[in-house]
Amino acid sequence: MTTGIKIMWINPLGYDAYDQPMADFIAGIKRDDTQVDVVSLDVPGSPNHLEYRTYEGLMLGDTIRATREAAVNDYDAVVIGCFYDPGIEDAREISGEAVVVAPCQASVQIAANLANRFSVIVGREKWVGQMTERVTTYGYRDKLASMRAINLGASELQTDCGLTISRIMEAGRRAIEEDGAEALLLGCTCNFGLYRDVQAELGVPVIDPICAAFKMAEDLAHMKKVFGWTPSRIGSCAPPPEEELASFGVFTGRTSIKNRVSA
Amino acid sequence: MTTGIKIMWINPLGYDAYDQPMADFIAGIKRDDTQVDVVSLDVPGSPNHLEYRTYEGLMLGDTIRATREAAVNDYDAVVIGCFYDPGIEDAREISGEAVVVAPCQASVQIAANLANRFSVIVGREKWVGQMTERVTTYGYRDKLASMRAINLGASELQTDCGLTISRIMEAGRRAIEEDGAEALLLGCTCNFGLYRDVQAELGVPVIDPICAAFKMAEDLAHMKKVFGWTPSRIGSCAPPPEEELASFGVFTGRTSIKNRVSA
Amino acid sequence: MTTGIKIMWINPLGYDAYDQPMADFIAGIKRDDTQVDVVSLDVPGSPNHLEYRTYEGLMLGDTIRATREAAVNDYDAVVIGCFYDPGIEDAREISGEAVVVAPCQASVQIAANLANRFSVIVGREKWVGQMTERVTTYGYRDKLASMRAINLGASELQTDCGLTISRIMEAGRRAIEEDGAEALLLGCTCNFGLYRDVQAELGVPVIDPICAAFKMAEDLAHMKKVFGWTPSRIGSCAPPPEEELASFGVFTGRTSIKNRVSA
Amino acid sequence: MTTGIKIMWINPLGYDAYDQPMADFIAGIKRDDTQVDVVSLDVPGSPNHLEYRTYEGLMLGDTIRATREAAVNDYDAVVIGCFYDPGIEDAREISGEAVVVAPCQASVQIAANLANRFSVIVGREKWVGQMTERVTTYGYRDKLASMRAINLGASELQTDCGLTISRIMEAGRRAIEEDGAEALLLGCTCNFGLYRDVQAELGVPVIDPICAAFKMAEDLAHMKKVFGWTPSRIGSCAPPPEEELASFGVFTGRTSIKNRVSA
Amino acid sequence: MTTGIKIMWINPLGYDAYDQPMADFIAGIKRDDTQVDVVSLDVPGSPNHLEYRTYEGLMLGDTIRATREAAVNDYDAVVIGCFYDPGIEDAREISGEAVVVAPCQASVQIAANLANRFSVIVGREKWVGQMTERVTTYGYRDKLASMRAINLGASELQTDCGLTISRIMEAGRRAIEEDGAEALLLGCTCNFGLYRDVQAELGVPVIDPICAAFKMAEDLAHMKKVFGWTPSRIGSCAPPPEEELASFGVFTGRTSIKNRVSA
Amino acid sequence: MTTGIKIMWINPLGYDAYDQPMADFIAGIKRDDTQVDVVSLDVPGSPNHLEYRTYEGLMLGDTIRATREAAVNDYDAVVIGCFYDPGIEDAREISGEAVVVAPCQASVQIAANLANRFSVIVGREKWVGQMTERVTTYGYRDKLASMRAINLGASELQTDCGLTISRIMEAGRRAIEEDGAEALLLGCTCNFGLYRDVQAELGVPVIDPICAAFKMAEDLAHMKKVFGWTPSRIGSCAPPPEEELASFGVFTGRTSIKNRVSA
């Protein structure tokens, strides 16, 4: 009923090693006629993870620029591929007709249809505070049973998948038994694909943040095409006027996208 | 990537006049290979609307029974077709592997991806309190700009669509200008189809509750098939044991579904 | 100063074995001139407990019908005899001039006059989520120290009172020492009468849900008679119009009350 | 079933002109065998109202002392007779086995059984902030439709009852029509008796704070006698040790009660 | 840029043994041209600590009177020297042009600039409930990691400083490791001076309540002088009219200050 | 008692026209021995205001870089000079021993010592949502009477000061009379200096965001020096390890500060 849609998945890092594997993973879950570009940013001196607010902050400008590029190039949806959902509100302002989705919000929305309480399995204790704020902002604080850390950094999660999975299972089991979790969310996009084994073992829904974010983006993009549900552009959602952008030269000069892989 | 899915749309009333038009409407928005059955209930002395808690309460038993029928007949998703989302928590307990969705929750989840604040246009002032509780329960109270009533009962909404639309536009305009709404939700499934004109006129996303609930159900059903995300069945999500159901004879005896129309 | 009042105690089950013992218990605590009828419902295939949302939902219709019967038969108050307070909002809409009371709300209101924080001793972990929602809805979430389960189902609570009491004492002691509870609430009407021993042993107020609900109902019924404080019937409290009820035939046909015992 | 109970009603002022009329009013609503003493305090330079925090603060010490006198003289309940509920938490700590009740908390608890939302009609705008805090502390903020002031000070409320009633009616009508109130609370004990006319005219429950506080005290006192529900004395409810009180001489020296009238 | 300022530090007790040591401590932290008077109250039968609400309530009247004396004697700021911040709202009403500060509010405001979550180390478990309410009222509930008691009464805290410090370190360490505290607040003014050792050992900011309250008072007093930021005197901040105070004789007769030491 | 302190005031814009006037203004309010540098950023294509999330996001990276420069150059405090407090959490992570302050948080903390409820006067309606989130995050939502816009952009506020002041007075008057504000906050740093006239006219405290932020920074910097209260560096406050920063080259290459003026 709709023609195919076009999605930009932004890895908000000046580091491109995740682009291809994520593109491959997304290729396996997208609808046939969906076009997906996985991109990373042109940030010199970039870290290869976003475990600190400092790092997220340093990537924000180019995340916004990449979103702007999506907007002016007719993408239907943009995904910001990090469970902190970094810059989601900012990107939503400048995304034009593209819907902006991110893993944390997508995951809690899906989970709330499947369970009354859920836990998030994160890499490090450090992440807990900020991600709890995210969940709170989205309105799901009362449904959060706990956040549990497995003491692995983002860049280690795919290093030894067996180790990662066994730690997630241990943390997930305790979340279920001690914290009252009824579903689990994997709190890092680097976990992609690991949910299956955990889910099979623990017997509760285990939400993979890439699957969640990507499908929510794809589905909202379809709704946009069929029902005309584009992002609101009034009130707090109003973007800077185009003339103003032009006069300051805000988006002139350079692209923020350094690497691009099609899924 | 998935085989077709099967959805039961429950009009939670012992009144079948909405079944055919809703089936027709849904036929126009579903994926090709989705099978949809629109059903209404076997409740003698049923009202033709649910504007009172009394009425909702009287329908709840058979809503649960219909959900049970969906569960044992391999439906992938159930939609409870009323913006009060009546019995959503109860139905979710007994739905087996079927995901249960309802219009209010689906609408606020979608709207939160498109706007920071939204208003719900309801039929009567009477509905406001209970629907506000719903929105609060789902975690979206802070994003609710207002509820505004148009002084039409549920059964009047499709009587004179021109009148209904003009009142929705008037209420929507005031929600935008006075209450700070950036998107609108239509707070009754009887509004189906009316969103288009309002959206075109007011220039903000206008969420049709049938479109929202149906697509969310369809999309979650797909995720269920692909990712194995069935409803949690532990903790507060645990259903009564099958042996207990059998020994009491809870679901024996009769069907609760009186009318069934395929979309 | 008032003439005697009339109270209907609804055991919201199609199961009548509790009716006589509850009537006997209430006979011991009522004022001399209060007339009390303990009733159970006409629900075929009824469970003998309400530990699942499914079961509560299945009883709701007839709870509403019984409340309606109370309303048209000049009862001053109705009590819904289950600590989930099932259908309290719905019953309040249709209760006419009868005040509707239920154990959870009555218990927290009384407890808040006696302690700053309290715990609820429940039967099973399963109950915790839903009862916490109740307490939250009534506004007492901040005063809830904890909910603690004793791993006994509702129907087991009066089987071996010694066992039940000893488990309540153990759970209550931990609620006091570990959770900061200053008073205890017994979270199931099947606990009736057990509070005395626990209270004597633990030295804190232990609220029996039947005592709490019944006395609150009796007292509010007296206030109604003396001060004219009948339930509000405007706004969200407005019931369906009588003509509409008649035209749909909502309450015609049958009684929902199968068993009736006078206290 | 119980022997008569004994209640101390404290007018928390060093001003005794309200004592007799309140005693007379209470005499008309108490149970036959309830003994009531209405007292006021021995505070030189006392104002005749408590419209300022300064005044309430100046009365608090002697309110505590009077409560202590009730505790050691076998009163079953103490009422602090001002809608600010001044010192309710402090008095509850030192009240021994006496239950402490105050008008605001009693009124909101009763109202919540009769309506989903209510408004408080206060004397002056100045009162709104502090009373809203009270309602919030008790957990009823979400049920508060509004506070509306009638621009009369506490000491003026009984001066020209016709005027007071007409202003209450005007404010109450607007609370109902504009704010969604379904019941009204009169936010000053000086309003005693005025509720009847307002209630008859407006057709919603109108809670008189003296009736509410007194009956709640009387009913809780009965529960105390029958069920043993005395105030908790552990955790945050623990009072100073008697030996410490004696060694400091905290309560030695003088009575804080200057005037005493039996109802 | 400003002339010197004048601060009254009220030890809200009829007990003067803390006055001199606190004056000495403050002398070491004040600006050169700040004049400070440490006072205690004229309350016969006073306890030497405020660990009970009863005691706080008994001191409130004279705390208000002392604040009034500060107001009419051109003090720029008043500090209520107890971590319960007893009577802060009442004192603020009557303080005229003097800013009123208290340790709990000052400490949480400072801490929130240095850490995202903090714990309060209190003397006894008894204090936890009421202090948590304070933190909540000030808006910092979400930033409170925990309250941990060290089982020492206020009057014991300076008896054996070594013991106190070692217990604070133990409690602080657990707050950091188990509760996620990132800074510590010492929850009693009797802790003055002990923060240094704890801070050096634990490596997180440790807020001394006297330092916090005093500096905040001094800084706000300077802002008052330079920017004209005196306390608001409208709305809920309006004080009783001077004529009314005079006609009742509220503040005539006696001073509430028994002891006065200059820092 | 302390040697002079060093403060960096960051105008988070790639636009330097505000630097000199702000430096001049700050020179008039700082302590004699405080050294202040007002800086702006090296962002090509920078807007001259931050009224959009897009713009704030584009400045964030260099705000973080400037904060890092302050940290490694022994500044005692950093102020982020915009009432949105853009990047305050991120900057706090990387600020080393420098305290990070921003106008909104500083203003609400000061205001809460002077009034129970306050309003913020903002430039445009657009700002309201995001600034309300800020106030909420800081814990002051319940004290916020309203936000009122004067329909002037940030860059227009100093164009015609007479016009700006008259609009602020009009909005402030309505905030006081209609919304219950007892103090006012000026919600843009471009308002600097305008508070005096408004305060004189309206008779309530009017908080200038530059005065508030600067004095809070200066005072916290002094506390840091005297009491050792540096920012926490554990838990959610932990910064990236220095070795990691070096290995990625995060802060190598260039300065983010383009212009620097000493106050």
Q: Does residue D109 sit within a domain?
A: yes
> What's the pTM?
0.97
Instruction: Suggest the residue from B54, B55, B236 to mutate for an interface test with chain C (most C CBs closer than 10 A).
Output: B54
Total domain count, chain A: 2
**Does F33 reach chain E within 8 Å, measured CB to CB?**
no
Taking phi first (over 0 means left), then psi (-120 to 50 degrees means alpha), and beta for anything else, what does residue B215 get? Answer: alpha
**Domain with E181 in it:** 104-209
Average pLDDT over residues E108-116: 98
* CATH number of the domain enclosing F79: 3.40.50.1860
Of D31, D195, D223, the CB nearest to C215: D223
A68 plus A150 within the same structural domain: no
Spatial contact of A149 and A123, defined as CB atoms under 8 Å apart: yes
CB contact under 8 A, C142 and D139: yes
Cβ-based contacts under 8 A for chains A and B: 143
All residues of chain D having their beta carbon less than 8 Å from the beta carbon of residue E235 are: 125-126, 129
Q: Name which of C98-102, D251-255, E153-157, F110-114 the model is least confident about.
A: D251-255
Q: Name the more confident of D255 and A196.
A: A196
Q: What pLDDT, in 10s, does the model give residues B56-76?
A: 999 999 999 999 999 999 999
Q: Please report the pLDDT score of residue E1 as a whole number.
A: 44
Q: Please report the pLDDT score of residue D1 as a whole number.
A: 44
Q: Does residue C97 sit within a domain?
A: yes
Spatial contact of F92 and F237, defined as CB atoms under 8 Å apart: yes
**Does F89 reach chain A within 8 Å, measured CB to CB?**
yes
Chain D: closest CA distance from residue C125 (Å): 25
Of E45, E65, E235, the CB nearest to D253: E45
Bridge partners (DSSP) listed for residue E239: none
Three-state DSSP class for residue F79: strand
E110 plus E172 within the same structural domain: yes
B113 plus B194 within the same structural domain: yes
C112 plus C182 within the same structural domain: yes
Rounded CA Rg of chain C: 18
Cβ-based contacts under 8 A for chains A and F: 117
Spatial contact of B203 and B137, defined as CB atoms under 8 Å apart: no
**Does F64 reach chain A within 8 Å, measured CB to CB?**
yes
All residues of chain C having their beta carbon less than 8 Å from the beta carbon of residue A116 are: 129
Which parts of chain A have pLDDT scores under 70? Answer: 1-3
**Does D180 reach chain F within 8 Å, measured CB to CB?**
no
Q: Please report the pLDDT score of residue B3 as a whole number.
A: 67
B204 plus B108 within the same structural domain: yes
Length of chain C measured in residues: 263
E47 plus E94 within the same structural domain: yes
Helices (H), chain A: 19-27, 53-72, 88-94, 103-111, 128-137, 161-179, 195-202, 209-227, 242-248
D116 plus D195 within the same structural domain: yes
Instruction: Name the residue in chain F with its Cα closest to that of D141.
Output: F142
For residue F254, pLDDT beyond 80: no
Average pLDDT over residues E85-102: 98
All residues of chain B having their beta carbon less than 8 Å from the beta carbon of residue A89 are: 116
All residues of chain A having their beta carbon less than 8 Å from the beta carbon of residue F56 are: 90
All residues of chain C having their beta carbon less than 8 Å from the beta carbon of residue D138 are: 112, 139
Query: Could you tell me whether strands D118-122 and D183-186 are parallel, antiparallel, or unpaired per DSSP bridges?
Result: parallel
Chains D and C touching, counted as 3 or more CB pairs less than 8 Å apart: yes
Bridge partners (DSSP) listed for residue C184: C119, C206
All residues of chain A having their beta carbon less than 8 Å from the beta carbon of residue E180 are: 128-129
D94 plus D136 within the same structural domain: no
Residue type, C46: S
CB contact under 8 A, A116 and C128: no
Three-state DSSP class for residue C205: coil
For residue E47, pLDDT beyond 50: yes
- Which two structure tokens, joined as six digits, stand for D188? 């000053």
Whether the CA torsion C56, C62, C65, C69 is positive or negative: it is negative
Q: Please report the pLDDT score of residue E3 as a whole number.
A: 67
Q: Does residue A201 sit within a domain?
A: yes
All residues of chain B having their beta carbon less than 8 Å from the beta carbon of residue F128 are: 180
Q: Please report the pLDDT score of residue C107 as a whole number.
A: 98
Tell me whether residue F53 is exposed, middle or buried, using C-beta atoms within 10 angstroms of its C-beta: 0 to 12, 13 to 18, 19 or more.
Answer: buried
For C103, the enclosing helix (H) or strand (E) is helix C103-111
Q: Does residue F147 sit within a domain?
A: yes
Q: Name which of C181-195, E119-133, F122-136 the model is least confident about.
A: C181-195
Query: What number is the ipTM of this complex?
Result: 0.97
Chain D: closest CA distance from residue E5 (Å): 25
Chains B and E touching, counted as 3 or more CB pairs less than 8 Å apart: no
Torsion of CA B150, B152, B158, B160, to 10 degrees: -80
Three-state DSSP class for residue C14: coil
All residues of chain F having their beta carbon less than 8 Å from the beta carbon of residue B116 are: 129
Chain C: closest CA distance from residue B28 (Å): 32
Q: Residue E125 and residue E130: Cα distance in Å, rounded?
A: 10
**Does E220 reach chain F within 8 Å, measured CB to CB?**
yes
Q: Does residue E1 sit within a domain?
A: no
CB contact under 8 A, D236 and C116: yes
Three-state DSSP class for residue C165: helix
Q: Does residue C1 sit within a domain?
A: no
Three-state DSSP class for residue F117: coil
Q: Which residues 115-144 in chain E show a CB within 8 A of chain C?
A: 128-129
Instruction: Suggest the residue from A117, A141, A142, A182 to mutate for an interface test with chain C (most C CBs closer than 10 A).
Output: A142
Which parts of chain C have pLDDT scores under 50? Answer: 1-2
Sheet of E257-262, strands arranged across: E99-101, E77-80, E6-11, E35-41, E257-262
Instruction: Name the residue in chain F with its Cα closest to that of A87.
Output: F57
Q: Does residue C76 sit within a domain?
A: yes
Query: Could you tell me whether strands E35-41 and E257-262 are parallel, antiparallel, or unpaired per DSSP bridges?
Result: antiparallel
D125 plus D56 within the same structural domain: no
Q: Residue B118 and residue B185: Cα distance in Å, rounded?
A: 7
B109 plus B200 within the same structural domain: yes
Q: Which long-range contacts (CB under 8 A, 24 or more apart) does A32-36 make?
A: A32/B1, A33/A3, A33/A4, A33/A5, A34/A4, A34/A5, A34/A6, A34/A7, A34/A218, A34/A221, A35/A4, A35/A5, A35/A6, A35/A7, A35/A262, A36/A6, A36/A7, A36/A8, A36/A9, A36/A214, A36/A262, A36/A263
Q: Does residue D1 sit within a domain?
A: no
CB contact under 8 A, B208 and A230: no
Query: Could you tell me whether strands A77-80 and A99-101 are parallel, antiparallel, or unpaired per DSSP bridges?
Result: parallel
Q: Residue D231 and residue D237: Cα distance in Å, rounded?
A: 8
**Does F235 reach chain A within 8 Å, measured CB to CB?**
yes
Compute CA distances D136 → D54, D59, E213, whole Å.
21, 23, 27
- The number of CA neighbours under 13 Å toward the Cβ of C58 is 31
Which candidate, F108, F235, A130, F75, places its Cα nearest to that of E183? F235
For residue E10, pLDDT beyond 90: yes
Of C176, C233, C236, the CB nearest to D234: C176
Which string of DSSP letters, residue by residue, matches chain E? -----EEEEEE-SS--TTHHHHHHHHHTTS-TT-EEEEEEE--TT--S---SHHHHHHHHHHHHHHHHHHHHTT-SEEEE-STT-TTHHHHHHH-TT-EEE-HHHHHHHHHTTT-S-EEEEES-TTHHHHHHHHHHHTT-GGGEEEEEE-S--GGGTTTSHHHHHHHHHHHHHHHHHHH--SEEEE--GGGTTTHHHHHHHH-S-EE-HHHHHHHHHHHHHHHHHHH--PPP-SGGGPPPPHHHHHHHTTT-S--SEEEEEE-
- Per-residue pLDDT band for B1 (boundaries 50, 70, 90) equals very low
Length of chain E measured in residues: 263
Task: For chain E, list the contacting chains (3+ Cβ pairs, <8 Å).
Answer: A, C, D, F
CB contact under 8 A, A234 and B105: no
Q: What pLDDT, in 10s, does the model give residues F171-226?
A: 999 999 999 999 999 999 888 889 999 999 999 999 999 999 999 999 999 999 99
**Does A237 reach chain B within 8 Å, measured CB to CB?**
yes
E88 plus E129 within the same structural domain: no
Three-state DSSP class for residue F178: helix
Spatial contact of C53 and C75, defined as CB atoms under 8 Å apart: no
Spatial contact of F101 and F67, defined as CB atoms under 8 Å apart: no
For residue D259, pLDDT beyond 90: yes
* CATH number of the domain enclosing E187: 3.40.50.12500
CB contact under 8 A, B113 and A216: yes
Spatial contact of C127 and C85, defined as CB atoms under 8 Å apart: no
All residues of chain C having their beta carbon less than 8 Å from the beta carbon of residue B236 are: 126, 128-130
Q: What pLDDT, in 10s, does the model give residues E50-88?
A: 999 999 999 999 999 999 999 999 999 999 999 999 999
C127 plus C73 within the same structural domain: no
CB contact under 8 A, D90 and E63: no
Average pLDDT over residues F88-99: 98
Which candidate, C1, C30, C22, C27, places its Cα nearest to that of C217? C30
